[in-house]
A and B are shown apart, each in its own frame.
Chain A
Amino acid sequence: MSLLKLDLENYKDLLKEYIKTKDEQALYQAEQFSKHSMQQNISPEEIINIHIQALQEIYPDMPEYIQSSMNFLLETMISYGLAYQEYQTLREKQLELKSEISVAANMQKTLLSTVKPDLEDVEVGALSVPAKQMNGDYHHFVDDRQGTLGIAVADVIGKGVPAALCMSMIKYSMDSFSGMGTDPNVILGSLNRVVERNVDASMFITMFYGVYNSNKHTFTYSSAGHEPGFYYHKDRDEFEEIDVPGLVLGVSPEVTYKQYEKKVEKGDMIILLTDGVTECRQGDRFIEQEEILHVIKQYSHLPAQGIVEQVYKHFERLQDFQLRDDFTLIILRRNV
């Protein structure tokens, strides 16, 4: 196809052709002409102007009233032209914003990145997938290389950018606690005071903090209103909900958290998650707890990382690949 020229001559020829033949081909060319005009930022009233000029050239004796009606139409279209211009500007702005958010999202990734520890006796699988660009879920591993591994899983309520900013604050507070020992209840208590002082009243954070001691094979934990995880007993082949009371972070300054301890046997698993997993919906149907456990069990022959990935794929499929909420799943398994 010849390159469409955006000029009066070309338009005049097309118009003439169409009036004469009523040919579909000419209409198709007209469509191409308008698409091309849009790319060149030609406004609607400019096209009408070209139309008027073409008409005048084709029909020099065009009646006066048609000429006037065309001028009338031209005036009418001016607002559309302005709206179109505005749309273009907004589109550019939107692209700009999008790229800024993606810079922020990358920065968040770097800031909040955590290294999945490589331990001898305990296998760790972890996966966190944001529903939108910025992740409101957070998980962090603290490996002291002397046999204790700290694991934090958190969910900021409120989504998107504010939640992500809040998460960065949590991460830096936790880093600054490094000299305070590793008791989960102490860590949650300190974080609660930081969050209570620093965030908006409608924002709060749920967090589960656990410490695995691979010398004693114990798991010590506390929860600040976080979605309950699960404990898998290998010997009984049974799951148990890790349901511990505790108020969410950021609501009341005088909260103390209780701490619990479990002896971990060979083959046992600790499953930590966020409500993006349990609040999964398939259409109007909520996913039941048993279904999550069933899926975990189905893949339990895989390495821990394989399990979390397969479980994610399962729920991603159920939700037609459209996550409603950030999804985080962590599995620890004692192998030796």
Chain B
Amino acid sequence: MNLSIDVTNNEGVSNVVLTGEVDAFTAPKLKDTLLPLTKEKGQVVEVDFQDVNYMDSTGLGVFISALKSTKEHASTMRLVHMQDRVYRLFKITGLTEIINIESTVQGGM
């Protein structure tokens, strides 16, 4: 399984579009891309989950590190277009309470 990460930077906003699966194999790559983005003061990092159909707990670890980093460097992060299965993972772990997450259109099919 693979993960492709596309980053576009636009006036203080970094858009990170993920396609594929976030797991123990792809998480290190994601971490290396995501973390530096959060280290710039005032930066808004938006991660698009539209095409992520699977994430395991290693992936959660990446977003926890990123969250801690945003607090340290006064940047912000939000996760958008998240599918139910992935959202469930953030919900169970209580992370929906501390990470800004916008899940995908519920029941819109």
Contact = CB atoms under 8 A, between A and B. Distances in A.
Interface of A: 155, 157-159, 201-204, 206, 224-228, 245-248, 251-252, 275, 279, 286, 325
Given A157-B61, A201-B64, A204-B61, A248 B93 contact: yes
B92 interface: yes
Nearest to A200: B65
29 contacts: A157-B61, A158-B61, A159-B58, A201-B64, A201-B69, A202-B31, A202-B61, A202-B62, A202-B64, A203-B61, A204-B60, A204-B93, A224-B94, A225-B94, A226-B92, A227-B92, A228-B92, A247-B94, A247-B95, A247-B98, A248-B94, A248-B95, A251-B68, A251-B95, A251-B98, A252-B98, A275-B56, A275-B57, A286-B85
B5 interface: no
Residue among A158, A202, A251 with the most chain B CB within 10 A? Answer: A202
Interface in B24-54: 24, 31
Given A202-B61, A206-B92, 6 more contacts: A202-B31, A204-B60, A225-B92, A225-B93, A225-B94, A227-B92
A158 B58 contact: yes
A155 B97 contact: no
A247 B24 CA distance: 22
The 10 closest A-B pairs by CB, nearest first: A247-B94, A225-B93, A202-B61, A202-B65, A157-B57, A201-B65, A225-B94, A248-B93, A201-B68, A157-B61
Interface in B48-105: 56-58, 60-62, 64-65, 67-69, 85, 92-95, 97-98
A228 B89 CA distance: 11
B63 to A, nearest CB: 9
Contacts of A325: 56
A248 B98 CA distance: 11
Interface of B: 24, 31, 56-58, 60-62, 64-65, 67-69, 85, 92-95, 97-98
Contacts of B56: 275, 279, 325
A275 B60 CA distance: 13
B60 A245 contact: no
Contacts of A286: 85
Given A202-B62, A252-B98, A155 B57 contact: yes
B62 A246 contact: no
Contacts of A157: 57-58, 60-61
Nearest to A155: B57
Nearest to A248: B93
Nearest to A203: B61
A136 to B, nearest CB: 9
A159 B58 CA distance: 8
Contacts of B65: 201-202
Nearest to B90: A225
Contacts of A155: 57
B66 to A, nearest CB: 9
B39 to A, nearest CB: 13
A291 to B, nearest CB: 15
A247 B93 contact: yes
Contacts of A228: 92
Contact of B24 (A159, A206, A246): A159
A228 B61 CA distance: 19
Contacts of A159: 24, 58
Contacts of B69: 201
B57 to A, nearest CB: 4
A159 B27 CA distance: 12
A97 B16 CA distance: 39
B94 A245 contact: yes
Contacts of A204: 60-61, 64, 93
A192 B67 CA distance: 17
A202 B64 CA distance: 6
Nearest to B71: A252
A286 B61 CA distance: 22
A280 B45 CA distance: 32
Contacts of B60: 157, 204, 248
Residue among A158, A201, A227 with the most chain B CB within 10 A? Answer: A201
